Chains A and B, each alone.
Chain A
Amino acid sequence: MKITREEVRRVALLARLQLTPEEEELLTGQLDAILSYMETLDRPDTEKVEPLAHAVDLVNAFREDRVVHEPQAEELLANAPAKENSFFKVPKIIE
């Protein structure tokens, strides 16, 4: 087994996913299959290969430090489930 049910639970918790016991079992099996397939990548010798930082062979895309901005708070907040005076309103956060 490449992944345990315990690990699936932990990853689900970190991703804020609520899984039923059936889903846990199903996903454990599926993830195990995916991870086994990923092992294919272990075959080539990468001893002398630098880790890949980016898939595209480009570097440095900059913008200049200039304010380019149209106030649009109202539109941006339009999809918020709850708001108050142009704040997002969320369930109380306890530290």
Chain B
Amino acid sequence: MAFEPVIGLEVHAQLLTESKIFCGCSTRFGEAPNHNTCPVCMGFPGVLPVLNKKVVEFAIRAGLATHCEIARYSQWARKNYFYPDLPKGYQISQYELPLCRNGFIEIETGGAKKKIRLTRIHMEEDAGKNIHEARGDFSLVDLNRTGVPLVEIVSEPDMRSAEEASAYLKSLRAILQYLEVCDGNMEEGSFRCDANVSVRPAGSSEFGTKVEIKNMNSFKAVEKAIAHEIERQIATLSEGGKLVQETRLWDAEREVTRSMRSKEAAHDYRYFPDPDLLPLVVDDKWIGEIQASLPELPEARKARFIAEYNLPPYDAELLTSRRDVADYFERAVKTHANPKALSNWVMGDLFRVIKERRLDNALRIADWPVPPEYLAAMVKMIDEGKISGKIAKNVFEQMLERSEPPEKIVRDQGLEQVSDVSGIEKAIAEVLTANAQQAADYRAGNEKIFGFLVGQVMKATRGKANPQVVNEVLKKKLETT
């Protein structure tokens, strides 16, 4: 029997505010344990939470960018459960009246576009961190993360493959990064994803038994974990087995999901409105201001790159996956209008350096290894025949090392391409004398040897000769003498 996977994702994204959601503690990562805490986020008796306005603004940004309806009236709820990283014994979240509802994100897989609907986006506070000591019988608790603002973004079960899930996640992350509301770092946990996965007979409209997968710390892990879980469920059903509704953890080392011991009494969070916080009312004026401040988003920018710069969809997708890269590219194009050549340099050499230097860990690359104006100036020199593409590779490396403009590097080191015929003729004459046998072979009909002779001329000119001119002149020389 053929099965169809059904996947929905829940994403928790940390918002890039300076202070926590309900108190003035810093959200900075990497401080000493319990340094960023106060009586409010530690849940001491008698304290009152006060809402950080920026959190609402950021959540509205996320909602508008994903085509959600923004609730004019929403409220806060307590989600009750006991865990050592949750000092109050409840998490302040939103339940019945979330801030954003009924949105969608457009994804593209294998050239086909598809809308993935969003059920809701709501705000909540993050929990602390438990550190499990391998030795000994205890765990350690650090509450620095307690109260860091989150948005939880819940999709409808609209995805049908691990590939679609991954595309959704990447689009969502790019949108949040463009909005500068989340840095999207999965490894550090500022962008986290849980997946609900089930399978059903193809063509059926009922849902199968759903399994929640947790502990996926990278895009790769999400894709692999979902693919594995789909296989596991199909295998179980094909053998006549039954699935249980449960939570499973992804084991990245062994590449399997394993059952998490189900918490006793299952989930019974006994939500109720939080009496410590007033209802939240958002008016049209505020929403309008936020709408007006939204940047051009990845999907729109990609379409524009294809239309305006005539780039292949692949290039446009890659260049617009990060706002800073897209900005870089456009600055370069402004200096020298050869979009495809610039795109090749950005996607090839520049991306390699960014990866090597791990610059993409930052939400925005502030110091580019090579300024866009330099890269553009270099491409311009290639286009004008001043340097060859091969020499350009060398110039690029030197720009990395010395942060000097390409014109200076080329001038200082005499790397200009030699296009004047007399200089090239001289080099050719020398090469033909030194390789008389090969020249004779060519004349005798061995045309393959031509490439070798071109190589020798290029070598003699230290790569500076214009290859086109070398080709023409050498051919003429060989045929006339």
Contact = CB atoms under 8 A, between A and B. Distances in A.
State yes or no: do A and B come from one complex.
yes
Interface of A: 10, 13-14, 16, 53-56, 58-73, 76-77, 82, 84-95
Identify the 10 closest CB pairs spanning chains A and B, nearest first. Answer: A68-B24, A65-B54, A87-B140, A88-B141, A62-B53, A73-B34, A59-B281, A53-B75, A93-B139, A53-B279
Interface in B382-400: none
Nearest to A80: B141
A86 B33 contact: yes
A76 B265 contact: no
Interface in B259-303: 260-261, 264-265, 268, 270, 273, 275, 277-281
Given A77-B34, A89-B140, 7 more contacts: A14-B265, A14-B268, A54-B275, A62-B52, A76-B44, A86-B35, A90-B141
B39 interface: yes
B278 A66 contact: no
B362 interface: no
A85 to B, nearest CB: 7
A90 B139 contact: yes
A77 B41 CA distance: 13
Given A53-B273, A58-B278, A66 B19 contact: yes
Given A16-B82, A54-B273, A87-B34, A92 B53 contact: no
B18 interface: yes
Interface in B30-69: 32-39, 42, 44, 50-56
Contacts of B278: 54, 56, 58-61
B469 interface: no
**Interface residue SS majority, chain B:** loop
**Interface residue SS majority, chain A:** loop
Q: Which of A59, A61, A87, A89 is most buried by chain B, counting CB atoms within 10 A of its CB?
A: A87
Interface of B: 17-19, 24-26, 32-39, 42, 44, 50-56, 73, 75, 80, 82-84, 97, 130-133, 136-143, 249, 260-261, 264-265, 268, 270, 273, 275, 277-281
A69 B26 contact: yes
A93 B84 contact: yes
A61 B38 contact: no
Contacts of B143: 88
A62 to B, nearest CB: 4
A69 B84 CA distance: 23
Contacts, number: 133
B33 A67 contact: no
A85 B33 contact: yes
A93 B132 contact: yes
A94 B36 CA distance: 26
A1 B131 CA distance: 46
A69 B326 CA distance: 38
B141 A67 contact: no
Contacts of A54: 75, 273, 275, 277-279
21 contacts: A54-B75, A59-B279, A62-B56, A63-B24, A65-B17, A65-B54, A68-B24, A69-B25, A69-B26, A69-B36, A70-B38, A71-B35, A76-B34, A76-B38, A86-B33, A86-B34, A87-B33, A88-B142, A90-B84, A93-B84, A95-B261
A14 B38 contact: no
Nearest to A62: B53
A76 B43 CA distance: 10
A92 B19 contact: no
B141 A87 contact: yes
A65 to B, nearest CB: 4
A63 B52 contact: yes
Given A59-B279, A62-B51, A88-B141, A73 B33 contact: yes
Nearest to B247: A95
Contact of A65 (B44, B53, B84, B260): B53
A73 B52 contact: no
B137 A60 contact: no
A76 B39 contact: yes
Contacts of A85: 33
A10 B265 contact: yes
B53 A64 contact: yes
Contacts of B139: 89-93
Contacts of A68: 19, 24
Contacts of B131: 87
